[in-house]
Amino acid sequence: MKRKRFFTWTSLSLWVTPVLLYGFYLSFYYRTIHFVQDPDFHPLAGNSLIYISWFGFGLTYNLISYYRTK
């Protein structure tokens, strides 16, 4: 019997990649890791919204496919 795995290559591309890209985007755009203290920081604007949505859809898809019964 094949064991189900939660972390696969699909999960890496679906929801781990947007987390890394979001971190890189914030650190390069605001040029600091303390971006929350920046008065111009808007967490649900622009590219941030795209990365958060990508993460949400990817994680939801991965959870559904992991817990789906045959």
Are 27 and 33 a contacting pair, CB within 8 Å? yes
* Domain-located, residue 45: yes
Of the chain, the end-to-end C-alpha distance in Å amounts to 13
* Domain-located, residue 4: no
User: Mean of the per-residue pLDDT values for the chain?
Assistant: 76
* Domain-located, residue 3: no
* Domain-located, residue 59: yes
Range of the domain at 56: 9-67
Question: What contacts 35, CB < 8 A, 6 or more positions away?
Answer: 26, 27, 29, 41
Calculate what percentage of the chain has a pLDDT beyond 70: 71
Quote the number of domains for the chain.
Answer: 1
Q: What pTM did the predictor assign?
A: 0.66
* Domain-located, residue 55: yes
pLDDT per residue as tens digits for the range 37-69: 666 666 667 777 888 888 889 888 888 888 885
Mean pLDDT of 15-32: 81
* Domain-located, residue 41: yes
The confidence score (pLDDT) of residue 32 equals 67
